[in-house]
Structure 1
């Protein structure tokens, strides 16, 4: 799978397909799988150290519960409604659901959770995985535990020296926010042997910018919309033909 500055690009469904279904739920993941090469998930640990798929540190925004995710057991978390009457999935649920037809971009939200996350991912073929995080220490630890897995450091406006940070973390890719990217940025990243996976592109104008910048991976809330646009407006090769 060529993704480092070559001619192949890939689509990542952000939290499955959060523009269409409640984020990080099975319905969002199934929608994302229809059109994305990878679905992106956010991983946190319950009080009993089970990896579950929730973006926020608290339950309030995306479920009918409240309080910190880490304050509830798996049973308590799965009694909640994560949207459309669906429960919060576990990491193992997502791997079993997705990996027959789609890759996974697993975002580690909490430093210190790498061991239990990687112990589950180790049970599966590492090729369809990326592990990403805002936390350099999480990337280094994930790479130590799963040397064959692709990794990426997520950068927002607080990345003062992004390429140095990525190399220090031992990552394979940089994931910059779309409004921080230029053609010069992607050119330099590719020169340094890094893939560029930009987030989050959700409009035709954003799609055009990503194509002009030669981004390798495109993270989007609506992968089927991006896939339809790509078939019409770009002649670069996509992983899924």
Structure 2
């Protein structure tokens, strides 16, 4: 079974997260997939930022939704990197992309871009909101989607039921909360399961022992150490 290594916001443990520099490094290190986050700027551009505000990851302040693309481009996102738009990411790396969105507006803009540029085979859409995945699947038939199950209160069958109802093919779970029962229930339903964020050898061993299909990591070293058999 292939075990996917997913570069978390590029390789954010060694490079500024969600920057072109980080994505390039993830690809150089051989990550199977690169995960990134998209939000809409005030003027409707899809920009790569995780937080609703720019304060933590740039030298600016304020909500992403209150800043225009031009204003966002003036910010330093770390080591002189700017905040990239999604089209730049597509041109910078060739790896498959795991794109996380959190609201319907961003999902609809992303869906239009996937259709226009024929990206269904390359881009997988992820969200913690079921309705975002349902709407994406409606707009882009055949698109692959992942449900981020964030709540520790979700029981195994509940998580599996949510994923199937939303049309997701994968469930992404916090490695600190994954149980064998959940993994087995998901696999029995034909779903893949990945863990986040796997940053230590101990966590990697756990991911492999639980039978996960892949893991998101902040560090490129996990790619090389992940080739052992647990």
User: What TM-score comes out, normalization by structure 1 length?
Assistant: 0.90
After the TM superposition, which residues 83-94 of structure 1 pair with which residues of structure 2 at under 5 Å, given as runs? 83-94=78-89
- State the SS of the aligned residue for 2:51: coil
Aligned to 2:99: 106
Q: 1:195 aligns with which of 192, 195, 200?
A: 192
What is the aligned length?
A: 225
Give the structure, 1 or 2, with the largest relative contact order (CA under 8 Å, sep 6 or more).
1
Aligned to 1:4: none
Aligned to 1:211: 208
Q: CA deviation at 1:158?
A: 4.6
Q: RMSD across aligned C-alpha pairs, in angstroms? A: 1.3
Aligned to 2:108: 115
CA distance in 2, matches of 1:121, 1:97: 17
Is 1:20 aligned with 2:14?
yes
More moved, 142-151 vs 44-53 = 142-151
8 Å contact 1:80–1:87 — kept in the other structure?
yes
Q: 2:63 aligns with which of 64, 68, 77?
A: 68
CA distance in 1, matches of 2:68, 2:46: 11
CA distance in 2, matches of 1:108, 1:158: 22
CA distance in 2, matches of 1:38, 1:172: 16
- State the SS of the aligned residue for 2:226: helix
More moved, 172-181 vs 108-117 = 108-117
Aligned to 2:160: 163
Q: Which runs of 4+ in 1 moved over 3 A?
A: none
Gaps of 5+ in 2: none
CA distance in 1, matches of 2:108, 2:178: 32
Is 1:140 aligned with 2:134?
yes
Q: CA deviation at 1:213?
A: 1.1
Is 1:38 aligned with 2:40?
no
8 Å contact 1:166–1:174 — kept in the other structure?
yes
CA distance in 2, matches of 1:17, 1:176: 19
Aligned to 1:186: 183
Gaps of 5+ in 1: 1-6, 236-241
